A and B are shown apart, each in its own frame.
Chain A
Amino acid sequence: MAGALALAVLLAVASLHAEAVWLDVPQSGTKCVSEEIQSNVVVLTDYSIMYESHPYSHPTIAVKVTSPYGNTLHHSENSTVGQFAFTTAEAGNYVACFWVDSAEKGSGVSVNLDWKIGIATKDWDAIAKKEKIEGVELELRKLEVAVQAIHQNLIYLKERQVVYSTSL
C-alpha cells in the first residue's frame, strides 16, 4: 500500500517535471534555506509536502520568508501546499524557514521546494502562446535569455571585483 502510493507519487512528480529539491524538516525545530540575491530580482517559490513519507497522517507546516533587513515577506501556517513570490527590494541574504506546526507525532516531514530566481521564473508557456512561437524558435529564445542572464551576472561579478579590490 505505502509502496504503491510512493510509486504513484514518484510517477506524478516525474510527469510534472518538478524542478525542485526535497528537504527533510525535523519534527521539532526549524529548517531554513537561504540565498544571496541582488536587488530587483523576481523570486517565485512553490512548496508542498511529500505525502509518501506520511501515507496515513496529514501533517502541516508553517513557512516564513524574511528579507536581509528582517522584514517578513511571507508567512503561512497549517499549510500543505503553498506558493510565494516577491521582488527583492534590497540585496542580501533571503531566508525561507519551514517547521512542522501540526500536533501529530511521528518522524519529520519531507518538503518539496521549487525555488526559482530571475530568468527561471519566466512562464515560457504563456510567452510562447502570446508571441505565437514554438519549437526551435522557442528554444532559441530561451537560450538568448540565458545568455543575457549570464552576461548580467558577469557584469555584476566585475562590479563586485572592483568594490572588493578598492575596499582592501
Chain B
Amino acid sequence: MARWRPAALLVVALTAVLSAARRADALSVTVTDTECIHEFVPYEGDTVSGNFVVVDHDIFWSSDHPGIDLTVTSPGGNTVHTLKGKSGDKFEFKAPKGGMYKFCFHNPYGAPETVSFYIHVGHIPNEHNLAKDEHLDPINVKIAELKEVLESVTAEQKYLKAREARHRHTNESTRKRVMFYTMAEYIAFVAASTLQVLYIRRMFSKNVGYNRV
C-alpha cells in the first residue's frame, strides 16, 4: 500500500499540471480599428497556437478586402508574433515567458469586420517543470501529447468552420450581386424595348403635308 503512494502523488501532480492545458472556443469580435484579446499563459515554453478568420466585413462592393493585422505582445511588451494583411491564418509560437499575452487585431481600412479567433495554450510536462520528481511517468507524458494532438484537430475543425462561414458570406454576397446586376439588366432591356416602340410609333404618327398639284 505505501509503495503506491509516491506514484499516486506523482499522478495527482501530473494531473494538476495537465489541467493547466485549456481551450478557448472560437469567439467572434467586431474589429473597427484595433481590438485586443488577452490570454494568460501560465508557463514559460508553453506552445500558444490558434487561428483567426475574417468572417464578414462591411466594405462596399467596389473595394477589395485589405485583410487584417495580428500582433501578439508578450507580458514584457515585446512583439513575439506578427501577421500582416491576412483574411485568415493560423499561428503558433512558444511563449518566451509566462504571463498575460495580448493578441491585437488591427483593421487598417476602418470599416467594421467580424473576426473569428481561437487561441489555445498547450502544456506538456517535461523534466524542466517536474525537476523535483525523481522520475517522470511516461504514460502521463504520452497522454499529454495525445491531448495536444487532439487539441490541434479541434482547432483545425474550428478553423474550417470559420472558413465555411466566410465562404457562405462570400457566396451570399455574390448571389446578391448577380441578382442586382440581373435586375439592372432586365430593367435596361425593358427600357430599351419601350423606347424603341415609342420611337417607331412617333415616327409613323407624324403628319407630313403632301403638296398636291
**Which residue numbers of A lie inside 8 Å of B, CB to CB?**
10, 13-14, 17-24, 31-36, 93, 110, 115-117, 120, 134-136, 138-140, 142-143, 146-147, 149-150, 153-154, 157, 160, 164, 168
Question: Are A120 and B23 touching (Cβ within 8 A)?
Answer: yes
B33-65 contacts to A (CB < 8 Å)? 36-40, 42
**B136 part of interface (Cβ distance < 8 Å):** no
Is B97 an interface position by the 8 A CB rule? no
Interface set of B (CB-CB < 8 Å, partner A): 8, 11-12, 15, 18-20, 22-30, 36-40, 42, 98-100, 114, 116, 119, 139-140, 143, 146-147, 150-151, 153-154, 157, 160-161, 164-165, 167-168, 171
Contact of B157 among A32, A34, A153 (CB under 8 A): A153
Give the top 6 A-B pairs by smallest Cβ distance, nearest first: A22-B38, A19-B22, A135-B11, A34-B28, A153-B157, A33-B27
Cβ of B39 and Cβ of A35 under 8 Å apart? no
17 A–B contacts, CB within 8 A, in A order: A17-B20, A19-B22, A20-B24, A21-B27, A22-B39, A35-B27, A35-B116, A115-B25, A134-B11, A135-B11, A135-B12, A136-B11, A139-B140, A142-B147, A143-B147, A150-B153, A164-B168
Chain A residues with Cβ under 8 A from B15's Cβ? 134-135, 138-139
- Taking a contact as CB atoms closer than 8 A, the residue among B30, B38, B167 that contacts A32 in the complex is B30
- Please determine whether B18 and A33 come into contact, CB atoms closer than 8 angstroms: no
Partner of B26, one of A35, A143, A146: A35
Q: Are A13 and B40 in contact (CB under 8 A)?
A: yes
Name the A residues within 8 Å of B147 (CB-CB): 139, 142-143, 146
Known: A23-B37, A150-B157, A157-B157. Contact between A136 and B25, CB under 8 A? Answer: no
Which of B19, B20, B38, B143 is the one whose CB lies under 8 Å from A143?
B143
